[in-house]
A = this chain, B = another copy of it.
Amino acid sequence: MTARAAAHAHTSHNHRACIDDALATARELCATRGVQLTPLREKVLHIVWRSHKPMGAYEVLDELARSHKAARPPTVYRALDFLMAEGLIHKIESLNAYLGCIEAGAPHSGQFLICQKCGATEEIVDPKLETALEAAARRAHFQPVRKVVEISGLCARCGK
């Protein structure tokens, strides 16, 4: 398990390591796949990774525009679409926001614990939950393609 994956979103940790790890992994993956992690896309990935709270596209845009005057909505959405296609970020559907993936390279839809109080969102990888999802679909003769699992509530720290 990487330092990044070991860190929990709601706990204090060396977040610089999260970012560095995420960017390094992204560069490796894109190089291997022969796709371009351009400076613009890397910048957007960096912005999304600034926290463990899902970030809205227009928040990303505001941040990006500070150093990139030409930034417009399509600029951001194209970068986000690329990063999602490469499995480097996830979209949190219930928030219309985006979050860095902690398991980039391993194709998955993502399972999330979203704290309603502090906003911190932790991506979990739970094989039993995955199995239960597959079983539920199978029971209905349904072929799953994308599985959205977003649990909102109170994180360990806020729920005390």
Contact = CB atoms under 8 A, between A and B. Distances in A.
A155 B147 CA distance: 14
A136 B153 CA distance: 13
A149 interface: yes
Interface stretch (A48-56, A61-69, A72-80, A123-131): A123-131
Interface residues of A, number: 37
Interface of A: 8, 93-94, 111, 113, 115-116, 122, 124, 126, 128-129, 131-133, 135-137, 139-156, 159
Contact of A137 (B93, B131, B151): B151
A142 B155 contact: yes
A148 B113 contact: no
A7 to B, nearest CB: 13
A154 B116 CA distance: 32
Q: Which 7 A-B pairs have the closest CB atoms?
A: A132-B132, A141-B156, A145-B153, A148-B150, A93-B93, A144-B153, A143-B154
A75 to B, nearest CB: 23
A144 B151 contact: yes
A16 to B, nearest CB: 23
